[in-house]
Amino acid sequence: MPDSATLLRDVFGFDAFRDGQEEIVQAVTAGENVLAIMPTGGGKSLCFQLPALMREGVTVVISPLIALMRDQVRALQEAGVAAGALTSGNTPEETEAVWDALEAGRLKLLYMAPERLAAGSAMGMLRRIGVSMIAVDEAHCVSQWGHDFRPDYLRIGELRRALDVPLAAFTATADAETQEEIVQKLFDGSPPRAFLRGFDRPNIHLAFTAKDGPRRQILEFAAARKGQSGIVYCGTRNKTETLSQGLREAGHTACYYHGGMEAEDRRTVETRFAREDGLIVVATVAFGMGIDKPDIRWVAHADLPKSIEAYYQEIGRAGRDGGPAETLTLFGPDDIRLRRTQIDEGLAPADRRDADHGRLNALLGLAEALECRRKTLLGYFGETAEKCGHCDLCDTPADVFDGTMAVRKALSAILRTEEWFGSGHLIDILLGNETDKVLARRHDQIQTFGVGKEYTRPQWQAIFRQMMGHDLVRPDRERHGALRMTEAAKPILRGEAGIELRRDSIRKATRRPAVKAMVSDEDAPLLSALKAKRRFLAEAAKVPAYVIFPDRTLIEMAETRPGTLDQMARIAGVGAKKLERYGALFLEVITGAIEELHPARRKLAGRGTAEVYDQLLEVQAELSRGMDGVDKPLSCSASQLAKVAQMRPDDSQGVVRVLGERRAERFAAAFLDVLRAAS
């Protein structure tokens, strides 16, 4: 068997390993369990492909994307390596060729999607073909906290145990939490040999800028790099189509890509991008994971990504050949509002939503960084670094000022309102706006009322955004987006620490949001929570969301915040049947508690008879032991009280017919008084 250096040269065409590769190759070849975290473009695939050639048997490679598998298999076959993939994208001839190679014992690398592990036949097949190692590409997909979670990755640990073979996991994106989850899910918590080769991509220039005509900004960025291959990431499918058209009209070769396209159309774009020089793809995040094109010279984000992990993964597609590459990320208040809403409306567990808000804060911290972007980015992944001299903030240092007093005023407003409100209401307090909400809660009487008039509302929004970027405050899911202080904020509030803010972010904060929000900033988190509940119910019932409640009904719930089922019944669109079926579920979202009502009483909610029922219940409680309080306890059932409230008998005989003589004797006179007063 040739040694690794010979195979590296003869098969892969490289004279030497890249930094860190050789050590990983040796460990994988020796059959150790391995977790390798390497920057995009650092040569991860070689670290399992080369050992596969040095080991007996078949190496199974679990990879998340068909396009990625096909590219790697094609490249290996071109290099003379017996490799194949079993995917839904195969032609019958391709699948037959893979099976023939497996049966003949020629195949060295077999690529599979994780979803294939769900098939009952997969395990038997893998046992039969003599698998000697499992390699997992994009291992961060096993993390339920991550942005690329793939549920079928959770089956890989079971596969490793069943085959009893070593496993090597590779990824470019894994913070400490994700690394811990990879170890737990893939290696049963038994630590593999870990290689952290660093996250730095020094050839990539990092830049962020506030949105100020984003279409124009993207077109200007692309114009300065005309003829170079690039990717523009957008937050919506519609924007990919309109922006790609704008680029074509400006003389660029551009196309769009999103998950709503036909599979064949997506494959066409993938093939064009792999083969054409100078093509720009305007895409949602559906495009990208596993792209092997080495000469992508730039990546732009027309909208803020979801997290630092997503940002790092997406910019990592540029400059994989080690050559210079550039990035630009645009961000604005609408982006942050959208990302917060997406987190709040998601069906993830509550602790994950909290963590996602923290991750978004970290991304805001990168966007609003005061010094070297690379230093901030690497710090997030646990690495220390000096100023890089190769990012926009190293090129032109940020204009900062002492923002301690402004931040302290904002924190004081949060504290004096007991951390129950979002930035919209807090800004009204700081500006001294006597809104109905401020007056109703007597917040015009607190010391911070009107102390922040030196800034405008958009400028205060920019200050709160920077406070989130410094992770001084986070939205509280249990209080529907109300801002809570973190531990980091307390020294500033107590006067024990100061803080600098970016002057340019505040100076530029004059534009109004481009799109009118459905509700106020204050009510938006509650609307998101109501939508999340609606989505859960709709998916369970397999019906469109509007069948549960239309948007206008949820908006009215968010704005009026009913506290009881009776109040809920007054919301437009909440009929008797829907109130009975869904009322308590949505009321729990609004109030955080379930209103305990007997089913008979719940059916009366929102009707005039409901108040009569409640009065009858109160009178019954007073007379349960008779007029003098010494008789044997007696009461009516909830259904009997409901019948009295609905039928409204006008004499004692009518009450007897509903309650019987014994109960009528005690309650009839008092009940009739209630009924007469209500008529």
| 600-631 burial: b if 16+ Cβ within 10 Å, else e | bbbbbbbbebbebbbbbbebbeebbeeeeeee
Model confidence at 463, in pLDDT bands (50, 70, 90)?
very high
Integer Cα distance of 491 and 20 in angstroms: 42
pLDDT of residue 432: 94
| 72-93 burial: b if 16+ Cβ within 10 Å, else e | bbeebeeeebbbbbbbeebeee
Q: Could you tell me which residue, 520 or 637, shows the higher pLDDT?
A: 637
**Tokens read off for 145:** 């906290």
Please list the helix, strand and coil fractions of the chain in percent, rounded to the nearest 5, in that order: 50, 10, 40
CA-based diameter of the chain, in Å? 105
Q: Angle, to 10 degrees, between the axis of helix 46-54 and the axis of helix 21-29?
A: 40
Looking at residues 462-477, what average pLDDT do you find?
A: 89
What SS3 string covers 508-532?
Answer: CCCCCCCCCCCCCCCCHHHHHHHHH
CA atoms within a 13 Å half-sphere pointing along the CA-CB vector of 429:
27
Q: Angle, to 10 degrees, between the axis of helix 608-622 and the axis of helix 638-647?
A: 130
**Tokens read off for 130:** 């003599």
Q: Could you tell me which residue, 458 or 287, shows the higher pLDDT?
A: 458
Collapsed DSSP state (helix, strand, coil) of residue 653 = helix
Q: Could you tell me which residue, 136 or 592, shows the higher pLDDT?
A: 136
**Tokens read off for 647:** 């039928």
Kindly tell me if the per-residue pLDDT of 240 is higher than 90. yes
pLDDT of residue 254: 95
* Contact (Cβ atoms closer than 8 angstroms) between residue 157 and residue 55: no
Integer Cα distance of 479 and 188 in angstroms: 37
Looking at residues 593-613, what average pLDDT do you find?
A: 67
pLDDT of residue 613: 81
Q: Give me the count of residues in the chain.
A: 679
Q: What is the CB neighbour count within 10 angstroms for residue 402?
A: 11
Kindly tell me if the per-residue pLDDT of 514 is higher than 50. no
Picking from 253, 263, 260, 252, the residue whose alpha carbon sits closest to that of residue 234 is 260
Looking at residues 308-318, what average pLDDT do you find?
A: 87
Percent of all residues in the chain with a pLDDT value above 90, rounded to a whole number: 32
Q: Is the dihedral of CA 575, 576, 578, 579 positive or negative?
A: positive
* Radius of gyration, alpha carbons of the chain: 32
Q: What is the CB neighbour count within 10 angstroms for residue 575?
A: 11
CA atoms within a 13 Å half-sphere pointing along the CA-CB vector of 316:
24
Looking at residues 590-613, what average pLDDT do you find?
A: 68
Low-confidence winner among 157-161, 276-280, 515-519 (lowest mean pLDDT): 515-519
Integer Cα distance of 374 and 392 in angstroms: 10
Model confidence at 605, in pLDDT bands (50, 70, 90)?
low
CA atoms within a 13 Å half-sphere pointing along the CA-CB vector of 416:
21
pLDDT of residue 104: 83
Q: Provide the pairing of β-strand 473-476 with 482-485.
A: antiparallel
Looking at residues 91-109, what average pLDDT do you find?
A: 86
Looking at residues 160-184, what average pLDDT do you find?
A: 87
pLDDT of residue 515: 41
Average pLDDT score, the chain: 85
pLDDT of residue 411: 96
Picking from 669, 673, 601, the residue whose alpha carbon sits closest to that of residue 640 is 601
Kindly tell me if the per-residue pLDDT of 519 is higher than 70. no
Low-confidence winner among 23-27, 370-374, 576-580 (lowest mean pLDDT): 576-580
Per-residue pLDDT tens over the stretch 175-192? 777 888 899 999 988 889
Distances (CA, A) of 372 to 203, 207, 394, 472: 15, 10, 6, 20
Looking at residues 81-101, what average pLDDT do you find?
A: 85
Q: What is the CB neighbour count within 10 angstroms for residue 540?
A: 9
Integer Cα distance of 190 and 179 in angstroms: 12
**Tokens read off for 630:** 């010494």
Burial of residue 22 (CB within 10 Å: 0-12, 13-18, 19+) is middle
Looking at residues 437-454, what average pLDDT do you find?
A: 92
As beta bridge partners, residue 402 has 500
Kindly tell me if the per-residue pLDDT of 126 is higher than 90. no
* Contact (Cβ atoms closer than 8 angstroms) between residue 313 and residue 288: yes
Kindly tell me if the per-residue pLDDT of 290 is higher than 80. no
* Contact (Cβ atoms closer than 8 angstroms) between residue 165 and residue 133: yes
Q: Is the dihedral of CA 160, 163, 164, 165 positive or negative?
A: negative
Low-confidence winner among 64-73, 345-354, 462-471, 595-604 (lowest mean pLDDT): 595-604
